[in-house]
Structure 1
Amino acid sequence: MKLFMITGVSSGLGEQIANKLIQRKEKIVAIGRKFTKSQLDVSQISPELIHLLNCDLANDNDLNSLLDKFTGDYFNDVNEIVFINNAGVIGPIKKVGQYDDADSIKNNINVNYFAPLILINQLVRIAPITKKIKIINISSGAATKAVEGWSLYCSSKAAIMMFLSVLEKERDNIEILNIDPGVMDTKMQQSIRNSNFNEFPLIDQFQKYKDDDQLKDAVTVADEIVKRIIK
């Protein structure tokens, strides 16, 4: 039996991946700041299938509290643990030198890099060495390509990718899979379109993706990802 742990399940790709796993009756631990009504309902009806851990990954106190609940009990009766690092934020979208709020910078780094680093470290620390661990990192082309206005997003996505590359070298029982889902029709895309040219010179290109119906559907992308990681 596999245990799926996933962050950021209240909307977008994370919600759809969680929905697909629920439909398959997989065992899930969902970590997030909030949850959908259907997720809350299933957790009440079938607590043996889905367990919800409330945590704002940008908040240090929340993260520390989560670690206290993150115990080896979740790994009983499973032979493989699949951790899906899905939660992510793109903002603030600004050029270097335009940032004027340290908290917003910290929020980006916490969600995209620090929180998954802490959670994955905890997972590796407490999971028995006999368990196979697969880490699915929902990445982005921005992890390997510099984009004006996205210095925080690019650097934090690159940082977690490198952290995972080192981890894979250190442990034989761990497999890392970085997945770039492409440009999807999600709240993140909406926030990109809500920026301005001075902060993000490529805004017209991303508006065109929406106008020309070039954005991928999160449901379709989630289906492809689940099929890929289930086998």
Structure 2
Amino acid sequence: MELSTVAIVTGASRGLGHALALGLLKPGAHLVTVARGQDAALAAQAAQAGCALLQVQADLADPAAAQACAGQIAAALPPGARRYLLINNAGTVDPISQADGLDDAAAIARAFNLNVTSAIVLAAAFLRATRGAADRRILNISSGAGRNPTAGWGVYCATKAALDHYTQVLHAENHGARVASLAPGVIDTGMQEKIRGSDAASFPNVERFAQMHEQGQLSSPGAVAEKILRYLAHDDFGATVLDDIRNHA
């Protein structure tokens, strides 16, 4: 069988990343997932679907682990696929605090390492490993928080803004890859649970997110993943570098 798609998804153990991984389990595809643990159920589903699966276990908030992970993935990518995809989905909203409480340098560094550094390192390895491929695409999962300042999310907003700007640079450098940084909307995930559990003194908008959950206004990971994979496969992917999935059907 012809190798159709080789896809890499980070943060694949839960939420949107897990839903994206499930959506990529197609016959003739090769999926690489990155998470802190192994997923036996995903392996069984991949085997049933006829999709090759490589699970890389790594904590991408650790720079050394992220670099080792990037090297492992680059060395393992099979040649000759019709399309190569990198989806940098892993991320954290922590630490949540007003500016005068952001004094934990290690926590801030972990957030930047996970949300920004790992994406940059993985993209570099991906670009080198797929050089010469006709169709290669990089999707960075961003957030509206990178484009709209939100009290209490100084670190999260800063990391997502950095990811957006990095994606624009990547596009400007013209490596022969299509790239986009996408805000996925508000999704019913573990991150949202953490946000709803925030102290209002640290995150003044906590009540709004609680109300969205109570009123059923959060999108499911599966529904958003389905939209993102359609968007990613579209012929004009990358035409809009900073995008929002809510702009697409």
Task: Give a deviation string over 1:124-178, Cα, whole Å, max 9, x none.
Answer: 2332234432111212111111000101111111111111111111125111122
Aligned residue in 2 for 1:150: 153
Q: 2:34 aligned with 1:31, yes or no?
A: yes
Aligned to 1:63: 66
Within 2, Cα distance between the matches of 1:107 and 1:128? 30
Q: Partners of 1:84 and 1:209 in 2: how far apart?
A: 27
The Cα offsets for residues 8-29 of structure 1, whole Å up to 9 and x where unpaired, read as 1110011011111115653211
Higher alpha-carbon deviation: 215-224 or 170-179: 170-179
Larger mean Cα displacement after TM superposition, 70-79 or 80-89: 70-79
Contact 1:72 / 1:127 at 8 angstroms: preserved in 2? Answer: no
Amino acid at match of 2:209: F
3-state SS of paired residue (1:51): strand
Query: Alignment partner of 2:9: what SS?
Result: strand
State whether structure 2 residue 163 is matched by structure 1 residue 126.
Answer: no
Distance 2:157 2:139 in 1: 18
Runs of 5+ consecutive residues of structure 2 not aligned to the other structure: 235-249
Aligned match of 2:16: 13
2:110 aligned with 1:107: yes
TM-score, normalised to structure 1, is: 0.92
1:183 maps to what in 2? Answer: 186
Gaps of 5+ in 1: none
**Residue identity in the other structure for 1:69:** Q
Amino acid at match of 1:155: A
Helix, strand or coil at the partner of 1:149: coil
**Which stretch of the first structure deviates more once superposed, 174-183 or 16-25?**
16-25
Are 1:87 and 2:90 counterparts?
Answer: yes
1:160 to 159, 163, 179: 163
**1:217 aligned to 215, 220, 244, which one?**
220
Q: What is the match of residue 231 of structure 2? A: 228
Check the 8 A contact 2:188/2:221 in 1, yes or no. Answer: yes
For 1:12 and 1:77, locate their aligned partners in 2 and report how far apart those are by CA, in whole Å: 31
Helix, strand or coil: the match of 1:135? strand
| CA 44–80 in structure 1, closer or farther in 2 if over 3 Å, else same | closer
- Superimposed CA distance per residue, residues 3-50 of structure 1 (whole angstroms, 9 cap, x where no aligned partner): 111101110011011111115653211111124331233467789611
Shifted more, 193-202 versus 60-69: the winner is 60-69
Deviations 1:61-96, CA, capped at 9 Å, x for gaps: 322322331335414121321111111100110011
Distance 1:164 1:65, change over 3 A: same
- Amino acid aligned to 1:65: A
Residues matched between the structures, number: 231
Cα distance, 1:123 vs structure 2:
1.4
